[in-house]
């Protein structure tokens, strides 16, 4: 069945339609050659239609272990080609079957190369995928990007995992399962709490450290919670990942801005400004911290993107805070920055030791 991807700039691309109802969202692209299972289940992609740059998707199927959340969270998917079977010893379903089972429409046989060039030239934009041209008459009404994306993917309950020596409270804005797994593997107990958890609830959990997770949308939508986030970061060793990194900058007086087309892939080079060492990182973000607004916040830039010099990580000069715009847990992607979790754990240990001598 013929389908269409229509962009807000008026351009239309044709392809093969798979799915039920038309959907709209922000059209973004992902450059990794593998990792499609992790991408479609990463809550940070909630509200977005993902265009896969790699021409063949689905060749190794889907398994039970590599999901970043309980179900796919993307609004829709666009590919050049979808392999309908998928061969891998762990695979228990196919890419197409998983999307269909969760009523997520997708399109194949699309000229993704040209589509991505348009996005790179004009920036991430709103779009709709549909098999019904009549639906396009409601394009302007249906195309709006949802404002409360975090609330739709974050947990509503408190959940605890593991029995480690260090207790991390993870503020959930749409966290990836692999972040929790990375902490568990390093001997932590992790309690996941809603992004709007009350101060007394968090303090009552007696954390050794706080981790602000990744998540979808504009970080400025969480402005009412900034005073609490700042207070927590001032009182506990803190780590921020992706959206959490942006929230730390905002909470201490910095600013963020929308990028033209964001960073979404598994091979983004990042430089450590202290060592001048460059390593590859996994990334997924459409907003970035403005470096010039960090003056007076106490934050120093530690990591920068080699390609465009955007801020990729910070450390605070007074408080025990480390942040990364990239994903140190990777999954998918390189594990070059997994050591940052170890640094976070060491900071929690130092705080415990200092308290024992107090």
pLDDT of amino acid 146: 52
pLDDT of residue 132: 84
DSSP 8-state secondary structure symbol assigned to residue 191: E
Q: Give me the active site residues, please.
A: 242, 327, 329
Residue 170 near residue 190, CB atoms below 8 Å: yes
For 19, the token pair is 């799915």
Between CA 266 and CA 252 the distance in angstroms is 29
For residue 27, what pLDDT is reported? 96
Identify the pLDDT of residue 11: 93
Left if phi > 0, otherwise alpha if psi is -120 to 50, otherwise beta: which for 347? alpha
Q: Which among 167, 317, 162 has a CA at the least distance from the CA of 236?
A: 167
Specify the pLDDT at position 354. Answer: 79
Structure confidence at residue 356 (pLDDT): 65
Q: What is the pLDDT of residue 37?
A: 96
Q: Which residue has the tokens 């308290």?
A: 355
pLDDT recorded at residue 137: 61
Contact 282, 326 (CB under 8 A): yes
Mean pLDDT for back-to-back runs of 10 residues, the chain (358 residues) = 92 94 93 95 96 96 93 95 90 94 96 98 94 69 63 96 96 97 96 98 98 96 97 98 98 98 96 97 97 98 98 98 96 91 96 74
Cα 175 to Cα 305: distance, rounded to the nearest angstrom: 23
d(CA 5, CA 28): 12
Chain position carrying tokens 């830039």: 301
CA angle at 176 for the pair 171 and 182, rounded to the nearest 5°? 90
Query: Could you tell me where the DSSP H helices lie in 69-210?
Result: 95-101, 112-122, 139-142, 149-153, 177-185, 199-204
Please report which helix (H) or strand (E) contains residue 77, including its range: strand 76-78
| Residue 333 backbone zone (phi > 0: left; psi -120 to 50: alpha; other: beta) | left
Calpha distance 6→76 (Å, rounded): 13
Q: Determine the pLDDT at residue 147.
A: 56
């Amino acid at each position: 069945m013929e389908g269409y991807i229509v962009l807000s700039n008026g351009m239309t691309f044709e392809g093969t339609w798979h799915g039920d109802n038309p959907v709209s969202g922000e059209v973004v692209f992902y450059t990794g050659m593998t990792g499609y299972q992790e991408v479609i289940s990463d809550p940070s992609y909630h509200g977005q239609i993902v265009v896969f740059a790699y021409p063949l998707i689905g060749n190794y199927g889907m398994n039970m272990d590599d999901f970043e959340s309980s179900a796919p969270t993307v609004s829709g998917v666009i590919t050049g080609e979808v392999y309908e079977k998928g061969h891998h010893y762990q695979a228990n379903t196919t890419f197409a079957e998983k999307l269909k089972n969760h009523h997520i429409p997708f399109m194949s046989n699309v000229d993704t190369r040209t589509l991505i060039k348009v996005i790179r030239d004009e920036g991430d934009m709103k779009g709709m995928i549909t098999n019904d041209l009549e639906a396009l008459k409601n394009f302007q009404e249906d195309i709006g990007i949802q404002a409360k994306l975090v609330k739709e993917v974050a947990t509503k309950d408190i959940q605890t995992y593991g029995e480690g020596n260090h207790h991390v409270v993870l503020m959930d804005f749409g966290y990836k399962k692999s972040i929790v797994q990375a902490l568990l593997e390093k001997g932590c107990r992790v309690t996941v709490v809603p992004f709007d958890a009350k101060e007394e609830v968090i303090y009552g959990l007696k954390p050794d450290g706080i981790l602000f997770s990744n998540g979808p949308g504009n970080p400025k939508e969480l402005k009412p919670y900034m005073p609490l986030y700042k207070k927590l970061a001032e009182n506990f060793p803190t780590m921020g990942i992706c959206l959490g990194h942006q929230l730390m900058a905002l909470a201490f007086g910095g600013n963020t801005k929308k990028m033209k087309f964001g960073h979404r892939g598994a091979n983004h080079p990042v430089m450590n400004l202290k060592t001048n060492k460059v390593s590859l990182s996994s990334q997924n973000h459409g907003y970035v911290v403005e470096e010039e607004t960090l003056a007076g916040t106490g934050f120093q830039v530690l990591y920068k993107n080699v390609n465009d010099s955007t801020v990729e990580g910070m450390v605070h000069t007074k408080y025990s805070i480390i942040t990364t715009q990239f994903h140190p847990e990777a999954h998918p992607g390189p594990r070059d920055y997994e050591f940052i979790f170890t640094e976070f754990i060491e900071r929690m240990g130092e705080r415990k030791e200092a308290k024992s001598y107090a």
